[in-house]
């Protein structure tokens, strides 16, 4: 319940936290510290978990996602740590439901072009930071590629068909989220989330390409220059 309230308050009243230094300190020094400790303490190899634990982890991830979306400029360091922690966890084995819930966070970021461009400019263009934008796009592409390959042991007879059903449901305003114990369903759901996120990320890639072209043109390096 408290995590629900925190997530609601942060998402609906972000301007208050941005304007009041004491609230910013509480966010960075207390809430973010607690969330980081929570994330690092997870046993991602625990394929089975009690319903209460599953719900709590999903709420933790929702709060993390809200912080990254709403407070990335005032909590840039904390957001970098959150994202690198989540991305590293996706590189290993984990419960299908947990992978899906982490991908829900990344999808929320990837569908916002401005946030992705912020990640690129703040982290990837800074030699002292992790290439967060690059790593987000790369892990999404890997999951899509792996999901499209035949997976006889996944329990999903037709992953493409299952993903198509999820997209059709989404177009009708219905989000079909599998139950935590539906491992096969979460495999398809993870591919769906990653594919949707990749489609969103394409807008940021196009924007970066436009920037590069504009930069060459302004430097006198456009077509026909020289």
- 117 vs 136: CA distance, rounded Å: 12
Q: What is the pLDDT of residue 18?
A: 80
Q: Is residue 220 part of a domain?
A: no
Q: Is residue 39 part of a domain?
A: yes
pLDDT tens-place string over residues 106-142: 999 999 999 999 999 999 999 999 999 999 999 999 9
Tokens of 77: 């360091």
Quote the number of domains for the chain. Answer: 1
Q: Is residue 226 part of a domain?
A: no
Non-local CB neighbours of 218 within 8 Å, separated by 6+ positions: none
Q: What is the pLDDT of residue 41?
A: 82
Residue 219 pLDDT exceeds 70: no
Q: Is residue 178 part of a domain?
A: yes
Q: What is the pLDDT of residue 220?
A: 56
Q: Is residue 224 part of a domain?
A: no
Q: Is residue 11 part of a domain?
A: yes
Q: Is residue 103 part of a domain?
A: yes
pTM for this structure? 0.86
Q: Is residue 64 part of a domain?
A: yes
The whole domain housing 61 covers 2-212
């Amino acid at each position: 319940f408290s995590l629900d309230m925190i997530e609601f308050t942060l998402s609906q009243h972000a301007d208050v936290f941005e304007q009041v230094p004491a609230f910013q300190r509480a966010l960075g020094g207390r809430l973010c510290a607690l969330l980081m400790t929570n994330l690092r303490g997870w046993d991602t190899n625990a394929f089975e978990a009690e319903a209460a634990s599953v719900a709590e982890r999903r709420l933790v991830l929702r709060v993390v996602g809200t912080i990254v979306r709403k407070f990335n400029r005032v909590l840039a360091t904390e957001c970098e740590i959150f994202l690198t922690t989540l991305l590293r966890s996706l590189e290993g084995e984990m419960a299908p439901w947990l992978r899906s819930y982490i991908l829900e966070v990344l999808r929320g970021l990837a569908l916002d072009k401005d946030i992705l461009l912020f990640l690129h400019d703040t982290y990837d263009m800074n030699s002292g930071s992790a290439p967060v934008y690059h790593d987000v796009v790369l892990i999404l592409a890997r999951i899509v590629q792996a999901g499209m390959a035949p997976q006889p042991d996944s329990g999903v007879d037709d992953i493409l068909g299952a993903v198509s059903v999820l997209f059709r449901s989404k177009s009708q305003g219905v989000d079909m989220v599998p139950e935590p114990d539906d491992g096969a369903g979460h495999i398809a759901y993870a591919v769906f989330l990653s594919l949707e996120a990749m489609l969103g990320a394409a807008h940021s890639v196009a924007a970066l390409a436009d920037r590069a072209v504009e930069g060459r043109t302004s430097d006198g390096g456009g077509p026909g220059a020289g």
